[in-house]
A and B are shown apart, each in its own frame.
Chain A
Amino acid sequence: MSHTTMNLKVKVWRQRNATAAGGFVTYDVAGISDEMSFLEMLDVLNERLITEGGEPIAFDHDCREGICGMCSLYINGKPHGPWQANTTCQLHMRAFKDGETIVIEPWRANSFPIVKDLTVDRSAFDRIIQAGGYISVNTGNAVDGNSLPIEKAKADDAFAAAMCIGCGACVAACKNSSAMLFLSAKVSHLSLLPQGAPERKTRVLSMVAQMDKEGFGSCTNTGACEATCPKEISIANIARLNKEYLGASLTAE
Chain B
Amino acid sequence: MLDSKIPSGKLDDKWVDYKGHCKLVNPANKRKMEIIIVGTGLAGASAAAAMGELGYKVKAFCFQDSPRRAHSIAAQGGINAAKNYQNDGDSVFRLFYDTIKGGDYRAREANVHRLAEVSANIIDQCVAQGVPFAREYGGLLSNRSFGGTQVQRTFYAAGQTGQQLLIGAYQALERQVALGNVTMHTRHEMLDIVKIDGKASGIIARNLITGELEKHFGHAVLICSGGYGNVYYLSTNAMGSNVTAAWKAHKQGAYFANPCFTQIHPTCIPVSGDHQSKLTLMSESLRNDGRIWVPKNLGETRKANEIPEEDRDYFLERRYPAFGNLVPRDVASRAAKERCDAGHGVGTSKQAVYLDYAAAIQRYGKIEVSKQGLTNVSDDEITALGKEVVKEKYGNLFNMYAKITGENPYEVPMRIYPAVHYTMGGLWVDYELQTTVPGLYALGEANFSDHGANRLGASALMQGLADGYFVAPYTVGNNLADAIYNAAIPTTHPAFEEAAKKVADRIASLKNINGKQSVESFHKRLGKIIWNECGMSRSEAGLKKAIADVQALKKEFWSDVRIPGEINEYNPELDKANRVADFIELGELMCVDALNRNESCGGHFREEYQTPDGEALRDDENFMYVAAWENKGEHDWTLHKEELKYEVIKPSQRNYK
Q: Does B614 contact A (CB under 8 A)?
A: no
Binary CB contact string for chain B from 151 to 190 against chain A (1 if under 8 A, 0 otherwise)? 0000001101001100100111011011000001010000
**Alpha-carbon distance A88/B9, docked complex (angstroms):** 54
Given A35-B273, A56-B564, A135-B129: A64 and B123 within 8 A (CB)?
no
- Choose from B167, B400, B518 the contact partner of A162 (Cβ within 8 Å): B167
Mark each residue of chain A from 144 to 156: 1 if its CB lies under 8 Å from any CB of chain B, else 0: 1110111110011
B69 in contact with A146 (CB, 8 Å) = no
- Cβ–Cβ contact B209 & A115, under 8 A: yes
Q: Decide if A28 is an interface residue (CB 8 Å cutoff).
A: no
Q: Which of A129, A137, A151, A159 contacts B158 (CB 8 A)?
A: A159
Interface-centre pick from A55, A126, A131, A193 (highest chain B CB count, 10 A): A126
| C-alpha gap A37/B125 in the complex (Å) | 38
Is the pair A43, B520 in contact by a Cβ cutoff of 8 Å?
A: yes
Give the distance in Å from the alpha carbon of A166 to the alpha carbon of B141 in the complex: 26
What is the CB-to-nearest-CB distance from A18 to chain B, in angstroms, rounded to a whole number?
9
The residue of chain A having its C-beta at the shortest distance from the C-beta of B184 within the complex is A126
Cross-chain contact A149 with B139 (CB below 8 angstroms): yes
The verdict on A90 contacting chain B, using a C-beta distance below 8 Å, is yes
Q: Are B65 and A70 touching (Cβ within 8 A)?
A: yes
What is the chain A residue whose CB lies nearest that of B138? A149
Knowing A35-B273, A55-B564, A63-B238 are in contact, say whether A138-B520 is a contact too (CB < 8 A).
no
A107-159 at interface with B (beta carbon < 8 Å): 115-116, 119, 121-123, 125-126, 129-131, 133-146, 148-152, 155-156, 158-159
A78 interfacial by beta-carbon distance below 8 Å: no
In the assembled complex, how far is the CB of residue B129 from the closest CB belonging to chain A, in whole angstroms?
5
Q: How far is the CA of A137 from the CA of B275 in the complex (A)?
A: 46
**Which of A44-52, A97-105, A169-177, A216-224 touches B?**
A44-52
Query: A15-32, CB under 8 A of B: which get 1 and which 0?
Result: 011000000000000000
Q: Does B521 contact A (CB under 8 A)?
A: yes
Question: Which of B74, B130, B167, B405 interacts with A195 by CB under 8 Å?
Answer: B130
Question: With A64-B277, A115-B209 as given contacts, are A130 and B69 in contact (CB-CB < 8 Å)?
Answer: no
Assembled-state Cα–Cα distance A75/B274 (Å): 24
Count A-B contacts at CB 8 Å.
219
Q: Is the CB of A58 within 8 A of B240?
A: no
Within 8 A of A (CB), among B471-490: 473
Interface status of B595 (Cβ within 8 A of chain A): no
Within 205-241 of A, Cβ neighbours of B (below 8 Å) are at: none
A9 CB within 8 Å of chain B: no
Residues of chain A lying within 8 A (CB to CB) of residue B570 = 17, 58, 115-116, 119
By the criterion CB–CB under 8 Å, are A62 and B239 in contact? yes
Name B124's contact: one of A43, A116, A144, A162 (CB within 8 Å): A144
Asked if B552 CB lies within 8 Å of chain A CBs, one says no
A159 and B175 form a contact (CB under 8 A): no
Which residues of chain A come closer than 8 Å to B126, judged between CB atoms?
Answer: 145
Rounded to whole angstroms, the CA-CA distance of A43 and B518 in the bound complex is: 11
User: Chain B residue with minimal CB distance to A210?
Assistant: B178
**Given A1-B406, A140-B125, A189-B132, A166 and B66 touching (CB < 8 A)?**
yes
Interface size class of A (residues with CB under 8 A): 35 or more
Please name the residue on chain A nearest to B85 by beta carbon: A146
* Chain B interface residue number, banded: 35 or more
Q: Is A92 a contact of B129 with CB atoms below 8 Å? A: no
Complex contacts, B135 vs chain A, CB 8 Å: 150, 152, 155-156
For B280, the chain A residues whose CB sits under 8 A away are 64-65
Residues of B within 8 Å of A53, CB to CB, are 564
A163 within 8 A of B: yes
Q: Report the bound CA distance from A37 to B278 in whole Å.
A: 10
Q: How far is the CB of B516 from chain A (nearest CB, A)?
A: 7
Residue of A40, A51, A148 near B276 (CB, 8 A) is A40
Which chain A residues border B277 with CB–CB below 8 Å? Answer: 37, 39-40, 43, 64
Contact A137 B238 (CB under 8 A): no
Q: Which of A35, A55, A83 contacts B565 (CB 8 A)?
A: A55
**Contact indicator per residue, chain B 212-250, by CB within 8 Å of chain A (1) or not (0):** 000000000000000000000000101110000000000
Q: Check B128 against A135 for contact (C-beta < 8 Å).
A: yes
Is residue B569 within 8 Å, beta carbon to beta carbon, of the partner chain?
yes
Q: Are B172 and A134 touching (Cβ within 8 A)? A: yes
How far is A55 from B273 in the complex, measured between Cα atoms in Å?
A: 25
Bound CA span A36–B405, Å:
10
A226 to B49, CA, bound (A): 32
Q: Is the CB of A135 within 8 A of B130?
A: yes
Partner of B273 from the list A33, A90, A149, A162 (CB cut-off 8 Å) is: A33
Whether a CB of chain B sits under 8 angstroms from the CB of A82 is no
Contact of A129 among B132, B138, B174, B473 (CB under 8 A): B174
Write the nearest CB–CB distance from A158 to chain B, whole angstroms: 4
Q: Which of B174, B516, B518 contacts A134 (CB 8 A)?
A: B174
**B160 contacts which chain A residues (CB < 8 A)?**
67, 163
* Contacting residues, chain B, for A123 (C-beta < 8 A): 65-66, 186
A43 to B46 alpha-carbon distance, docked (Å) = 34
Alpha-carbon separation in the docked complex, A64 to B275 (Å) = 14
A121 to chain B, nearest CB (A): 7
B130 x A196 contact (CB < 8 A): yes
A83 vs B272: C-alpha distance in the bound complex, in angstroms? Answer: 21
Smallest CB separation, B38 vs chain A (Å): 17
Tell me, in angstroms, the Cα distance from A64 to B406 when the chains sit together: 17
Closest to B241 in A: A62
Complex CA distance for A159 and B276, rounded to whole angstroms: 32
Residue on B nearest A32 in the bound complex, by CB: B275
Residues of A within 8 A of B651 (CB): none
- 8 Å CB contacts to A: which residues of B512-533? 516-518, 520-521
Within the assembled complex, what's the spacing in Å between the Cα atoms of A91 and B66?
Answer: 23
| Nearest-Cβ distance from residue B393 to partner chain A, whole angstroms | 15
From 568 to 602 in chain B, residues with beta carbon under 8 angstroms from any chain A beta carbon are 569-570, 572-573
Query: Is B127 interfacial (CB 8 A cutoff)?
Result: yes
Given the complex of chains A and B, what is the CA–CA distance between A36 and B157 in angstroms? 30
Q: Is the CB of A92 within 8 A of B403?
A: yes
Is B139 within 8 A of A43, CB to CB? no
In this complex, what residue of B is CB-closest to A94? B406
Bound CA–CA A155/B167 (angstroms)? 16
B615: which A residues are within 8 A, CB to CB?
none
Q: Which residues of A contact B137 (CB under 8 A)?
A: 152
Contact B275–A152 (Cβ < 8 Å): no
- When chains A and B are docked, how far (Å) is the Cα of A17 from the Cα of B400? 35
Residue from A63, A94, A143 with most neighbouring chain B CB atoms (10 Å)? A63
Contact of A50 among B133, B186, B564 (CB under 8 A): B564
On whether the beta carbons of A146 and B66 are closer than 8 Å, the reply is no
For the complex formed, measure the closest distance between the CB of A38 and the CB atoms of chain B, giving whole angstroms.
11
List, sorted by A's number, 10 A–B pairs whose CB atoms are closer than 8 Å: A33-B273, A37-B404, A65-B74, A122-B66, A123-B186, A136-B175, A144-B124, A145-B141, A148-B127, A165-B163
A65-B278, A136-B175 given; 20 more Cβ-contact pairs under 8 Å = A16-B569, A35-B275, A50-B564, A56-B573, A62-B64, A64-B238, A65-B280, A68-B68, A130-B177, A134-B172, A135-B130, A140-B125, A145-B124, A145-B126, A150-B139, A152-B137, A155-B132, A155-B133, A166-B68, A189-B130
Q: Enumerate chain A interface residues (CB-CB to B < 8 A).
A: 1, 16-17, 33-37, 39-40, 43-44, 47, 49-51, 53-56, 58, 60-70, 83, 86, 90, 92, 94, 115-116, 119, 121-123, 125-126, 129-131, 133-146, 148-152, 155-156, 158-159, 162-163, 165-166, 189-190, 193, 195-196
Nearest 6 interchain pairs by C-beta: A149-B139, A134-B171, A142-B124, A142-B128, A159-B132, A145-B127
B residues lining the A interface (CB < 8 Å): 46, 49-50, 53, 64-71, 73-74, 83, 85, 121, 123-130, 132-141, 157-158, 160, 163-164, 167, 170-172, 174-175, 177-178, 184, 186, 209, 236, 238-240, 272-273, 275-278, 280-281, 400, 403-407, 469-470, 473, 516-518, 520-521, 562, 564-565, 569-570, 572-573
